[in-house]
């Protein structure tokens, strides 16, 4: 992977984290937390789509969609593990 590819991947992760935070009820983990979740979620989304052998195209929009799905899955799992008990 070239440096340019890594930078693009991180930018896509940041955008997807922001979008996932906007979608997630309660706003997720704040701006910085959602951006970190987005970058990790981009890896999760690409991994899951690769395992499922799903290809939704190669454009930037479809890559962001996959990253947002990965970030939402990650937010869901984090909320399951660190659920606040009342």
Q: What is the pLDDT of residues 17-29, one digit of tens each?
A: 888 888 887 666 7
Written as six digits, the tokens of 41 are 């979620």
**Torsion of Cα atoms, 10 then 14 then 32 then 74, to 10°:** -90
Q: What confidence tens digit (pLDDT) does each residue in 21-60 have?
A: 888 876 667 778 877 888 888 888 888 888 888 777 777 8
Cα–Cα distance between 75 and 4 in angstroms, integer?
27
Asked if residue 23 is part of any domain, the answer here is no
Kindly report, residue by residue over 65-82, the tens digit of the pLDDT.
888 899 898 888 888 887
Q: Ramachandran region of residue 57, left (φ > 0), alpha (ψ -120 to 50) or beta?
A: left
- Residue 86's pLDDT band, with cuts at 50, 70 and 90, is very low
Domain count, the chain: 1
Pull the structure tokens for residue 39: 């970058």
- Domain interval for residue 59: 30-80
Assigned domain for 17 exists: no
Asked if residue 10 is part of any domain, the answer here is: no
Q: Is residue 24 part of a domain?
A: no
Please report whether residue 43 resides in a domain.
yes
Q: Does 64 fall in a domain? A: yes
The C-alpha angle 82, 28, 76, rounded to 5 degrees, equals: 55
Residue 16 is assigned to a structural domain of this protein: no
């Amino acid at each position: 992977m070239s440096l340019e590819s890594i930078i693009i991947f991180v930018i896509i992760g940041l955008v997807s984290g922001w979008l996932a935070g906007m979608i997630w009820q309660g706003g997720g983990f704040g701006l910085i937390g959602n951006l970190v979740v987005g970058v990790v979620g981009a890896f999760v989304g690409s991994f899951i789509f690769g395992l499922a052998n799903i290809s939704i195209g190669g454009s930037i929009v479809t890559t962001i969609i996959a990253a947002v799905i990965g970030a939402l899955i990650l937010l869901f799992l984090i909320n399951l593990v660190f659920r606040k008990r009342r």
